[in-house]
Structure 1
Amino acid sequence: MAGASAPSASALSKGRIWQILWRRKAALLGLTLLVIMILAALFAPWVATHKPDAMRIAQRLKPPSGINFFGTDEFGRDLFSRVVYGGRISLTVGFLTVCISCVLGVTLGILAGFFKRLDTGLTRIIDAMMSFPDILLAIALVAVLGPSLVNVVTALGIVYTPRVARVVRASTLVIRELPFVEAARALGTPTWRILGTHVLCNLTSPIMVQATFIFAYAILAEAGLSFLGVGVSPEIPTWGTIISTGQQYAGKADWIMIFPGIAIVTAVFSLQMLGDALRDMLDPKLRKDL
Structure 2
Amino acid sequence: MKTALLKLFRRRVVLIAALLLLAIGLIALTAQWLTPHDPNDTAVLQRLKGPSADHLLGTDELGRDLFSRIAFGGRYSLAIAALTALGAIVGGTLMGLIAGFFRRLDAPIMRIVDAMMSLPDILLAIALVAILGPSLLNVVLALVLVYTPRVARVVRASTLVVRELLFVEAARALGLSTPRILGRHILPNLVSPILVQSSFIFAYAILAEAALSFLGVGVPPEIPTWGTMVAGSQQYAHQAIGVVLYPGLAIIVTALSLQLLGDGVRDLLDPRLKKSM
TM interval, shorter chain, is over 0.9
| Aligned positions of 1:86-97 closer than 5 A | 86-97=73-84
Match of 2:177 in 1: 190
- State yes or no: 1:264 paired with 2:251: yes
Match of 2:207 among 204, 209, 220: 220
Which consecutive residues of structure 1, in runs of 5 or more, have no partner in the other structure?
Answer: 1-12
Contact 1:17 1:281 in 2 (8 A): no
Deviation (angstroms), 1:66: 1.9
Match for 1:149 among 114, 136, 154? 136
1:283 aligns with 2:255: no
What corresponds to 2:96 in structure 1? Answer: 109
CA distance in 2, matches of 1:289, 1:76: 51
Which residue type is aligned with residue 76 of structure 1? G
Structure 2: distance between partners of 1:63 and 1:116: 62
1:33-90 Cα offsets, whole Å, 9 max, x none, are 1011111111110111110000111101111122111110111000100000000000
Residue equivalent to 1:9: none
After TM superposition, give the deviation of residue 269 of structure 1 in Å.
1.1
What is the distance in 1 between the residues matched to 2:198 and 2:119? Answer: 20
Question: For residue 285 of structure 1, what is the amino acid of its counterpart?
Answer: R
1:18 is matched by which residue type in structure 2? L
Q: Following TM superposition, by how much is the alpha carbon of 1:250 offset from its aligned partner in structure 2, in angstroms?
A: 2.0
Query: What pairs up with 1:1-290 in 2 under 5 angstroms?
Result: 13-21=1-9, 23-290=10-277
| Contact in 1 for aligned 2:128/2:142 (Cα 8 Å) | yes
Q: Give 1:19 shift.
A: 3.3
- What's the CA shift for 1:185? 0.1
CA contact (8 A) 1:52 1:78 kept: yes
Q: Distance in 1 between matches of 2:54 and 2:260?
A: 33
- Which whole-Å CA distance do the structure 1 matches of 2:214 and 2:71 have between them? 18
Q: Secondary structure at the match of 1:284?
A: coil
Check whether the contact 1:148–1:232 (CA below 8 A) recurs between aligned residues. yes
Q: Name the SS of the counterpart of 1:142 in structure 2.
A: helix
Q: CA deviation at 1:251?
A: 1.1
- Inter-partner Cα distance in structure 1 for 2:214 and 2:240: 17
Aligned residues: 277
| Residue aligned with 2:223, SS | coil
* Contact 1:109/1:167, CA 8 A, preserved across alignment: yes
Runs of 4+ in 1 over 2 A off after TM superposition: none
Amino acid at match of 2:87: I
Determine the C-alpha separation between the residues in 1 that align with 2:196 and 2:3: 20
Deviation string 1:250-281 (CA, Å, 9 cap, x unpaired) is: 21111100000000011011100110000000
What amino acid does structure 2 have at the position aligned with 1:17?
A: L
TM-score normalised to structure 2 length: 0.99
Contact 2:29 2:75 (C-alpha < 8 Å) held by counterparts: yes
Gapped regions of structure 2 (runs ≥ 5)? none
- CA drift at 1:138: 0.2
